[in-house]
Each structure stands twice: as structure tokens, then as C-alpha cells.
Amino acid sequence: MARVKKPQAKPLPGDPNDPNGMHVWTQRFLKALLVKGNSPQTVDTRRLRLGAFIEWCSTRSITMPMQVTKPVIEAYQRHLFHRRLPNGKPLSFGTQHGSLVAVKRLFQWLTRSNVLLYNPASEIELPRLGRRLPRHVLTAAEVESVLAVPDVKDPLGLRDRAILEVLYSTGVRRSELVKLHVFDVDVERGTILVREGKRSNDRVVPIGERALTWIEKYQREVREQLLTDANNTVLFVSKLGDGLTPGHLTMIVRRHVKAANIGKTGSCHLFRHAMATLMLEGGADVRMVQAMLGHASLNTTALYTHVAIRALKEVHDRTHPGARLGKPEAKTTTPTPEAEALLAKLAAEADADHE
């Protein structure tokens, strides 16, 4: 089977021979991002978004950074808002936000590098981003249904079972899982080392005994059979003997989720959502979950508290007179510690809102 080639990054539009043109200065900006330690993925995303901006400018005869003014960027913001995808849907506010951030960062760098006297994007207001809940969150039973799908008698099925167990136990991102090496797994301490996660940060994440057992079984029975290079230390390998790509991992997980026939769709992030939600429902402190997920902001992790509503549902059933069928019973029940903790948290938030 032919090896699948990684798609090449789309080149920047514009004239590469114009020393004052948008193409040249954008290329210098992207190189500066790499020098400052930004990941190649981040730089590729900025290249894609800035390429769209350069193309939009070129249709308006704007070819140099010094020709870009605040009204020009405001017009581009309106263009993003009114743009429609091939299916007729508008760009999400997240996409609009990311596109404008790339433009703001470019002109911020140009100003600091003394290429421009002032930053035309400094006063551009970015679209407001709402906090969207995960579309699908798996229950513990649904996760077990997906885990049971791979045929562990087949080498690739055994590998897939180990992958699913690691995703569920640790909540790592797909880009983090494909970077795992055999020496990143510490069986004695029950942890894995996640290398160069988001924002290029490393972190140590606990992993359960069950996941470690499946990793050990996969390494003992399958991994060496798949390897084509004995010096390759990547933990999970493809049937071609090299490391998995994030896209390949997505296809593997999506296939097993679909085969489980649980009525929910998704891929690797389903297990990340499930891990965070189930841990919070089980009483884990939100800051501990934040450390596991590698979130820079607690606000990002707190999003899962809106999904983990078991304790809130208990409070609702206990206190709301119309929560159950039939005549309300005149009895007093003792709330669980989880429900008491949630009540205390809600009371503290209410007090903070009134201050």
C-alpha cells in the first residue's frame, strides 16, 4: 500500500518579489512566530487566515501593509460577517474571531518592527465568543459500549482498544496522543508524559490501571509486529509501521463510535468531554480536572460543570414541587455531600453577582 503523503501547506498569495508587499512581510511575520516558539500548527493556521486576508486585499488593489487602514480592516470584518459557505451557512463567530486575531497580530508585529508608524488594527473590536456546550457527551455506559467495539483478537483491533482506553482515562487531545512515545508511559507511577501540548506545554497526566493493562497487552502482542523501524519509539503505530497522524486517529475513533450505534456522533474529543464530565460528576475538583486537560484558563474547564448536572438535578427533584408526577410528598430528605457542595457554590456565585 502506498504511503499517504502529508498535504503541503497552501502558499501565501501575493508577489514574493515585492520587498514591500503583503506576501514578503507576512512571510517574515510567520518566521518570527516560529522563532518565538509557536507551534508549526499555529503558524500554518495563521498562514491560512492571513492568506485569505491578502487575497481579499488584492481584489481591492491593496498590495502593501502601509495601504491598510482602519476602514479597510473594518470592511474586511464586515466581509467575514456576510460571507457564506458553500452550504449557505455563515462563518461561525469563532472563525471570524480567529481570522481577525491573525490580522491584528500581523499589524501589531509590523508596528513593533517599525515597518508601520501606527497599528490600523489596534482599535478593531473582535466578535464576542459565546461558551458553547459540547454537542454530545457520552455516559459511562455509552463509553463502555464504544470500548467494546474493536475486535481485540485482531492486531489493529487490539491497538484501537488501547487507544480508546488512553483517550478515556486521560482525556488527552488527539494531537497529544499521536506524540506519545513508549518511554512517556510510567507504569510504576501510573502516569503519562504529554509532550508539547497546546501552547507547547508539557504536563504529567494520571492514567488508570485498566488503560495501562491494555497498553501493556498492545505492546507485548502487536506493536513490534507493526513496526518497520526498530528505532521508532512512538507508542501507537499504523499498519504501515509509522506513527499515526491526527487525521488518521480521528477516522479510527469515529468508525468505532459509529459502530457502537449509541445515537451520538463524534471522535476523539468525545472521550475528552466524557472524562471531564464524569470526573466532575464523581466529585473531582474543577482545578484538578483543569490540570488534567491542560487548560490555561479555569473558565474553559468550568464549561464542563454546566454539563455535569447530576447534583443539580438531584437538588431540583428534591426541592421543586412540580418535579415529579403526583402529589408532592411532605417529607424531608437529607441532601448528598455533592448536592450540598453545589448549593454552596451557587449561593457564592449569587453573592458575587450582587456585589
The domains of the chain are located at 22-112, 140-305
Q: What is the 3-state secondary structure (H, E, C) of 49-116?
A: HHHHHHHHHHCCCCCCHHHCCHHHHHHHHHHHHHCECCCCCECCHHHHHHHHHHHHHHHHHHHHCCCC
Is residue 210 part of the annotated active site? The answer reads no
Instruction: Say if CB 155 and CB 279 are below 8 A apart.
Output: no
Catalytic residue among 23, 161, 173, 179: 173
Catalytic residue among 76, 168, 218, 304: 304
Given the candidates 3.40.718.10, 1.10.620.20, 3.30.9.10, 1.10.443.10, the CATH classification of the domain at 140-305 is 1.10.443.10
Contacts of 286 (CB under 8 A, 6+ apart): 280, 298, 301, 302, 304, 305
DSSP state for residue 296 in the 8-state scheme: S
Task: Give the model's pLDDT for residue 1.
Answer: 33
Catalytic residue among 136, 198, 258, 310: 198
CATH class, domain 22-112, is mainly alpha
pLDDT in tens, 27-66: 999 999 999 888 788 899 999 999 999 999 999 999 999 9
Is residue 104 part of the annotated active site? The answer reads no
User: Residue 161 region, left (φ>0) first, then alpha (ψ -120 to 50), else beta?
Assistant: alpha
Is there a shared CATH topology between the 22-112 domain and the 140-305 domain?
no
Task: Give the model's pLDDT for residue 4.
Answer: 38
CA distance 6 to 289: 34
CA distance 104 to 94: 15
Cell of 284: 473531582
Task: Say how many Å lie between the first and final Cα of the chain, rounded.
Answer: 66
Query: What sign does the dihedral 314-316-320-321 (CA atoms) show?
Result: negative
Across the chain, mean pLDDT equals 83
Is residue 269 part of the annotated active site? The answer reads yes
Residues in the chain: 355
Is residue 76 part of the annotated active site? The answer reads no
Task: Give the model's pLDDT for residue 72.
Answer: 96
pLDDT in tens, 161-219: 999 999 999 888 888 899 999 999 999 999 989 886 666 677 888 899 999 999 999 99
Q: How many CB atoms lie within 10 A of CB 269?
A: 17
DSSP state for residue 286 in the 8-state scheme: H
Q: Taking Cα atoms as reference points, which of 52, 107, 48 lies closest to residue 79?
A: 52
Catalytic residue among 23, 49, 272, 273: 272
CA distance 174 to 171: 9
Is residue 295 part of the annotated active site? The answer reads yes
What angle do helix axes 22-35 and 40-58 make, rounded to 10 degrees? 170
Task: Give the model's pLDDT for residue 3.
Answer: 40
Cα atoms in the Cβ-side hemisphere of radius 13 Å centred on 335: 18
Confirm whether pTM is higher than 0.75: no
Answer whether residue 275 shows pLDDT above 90: no
Instruction: Say if CB 273 and CB 137 are below 8 A apart.
Output: yes
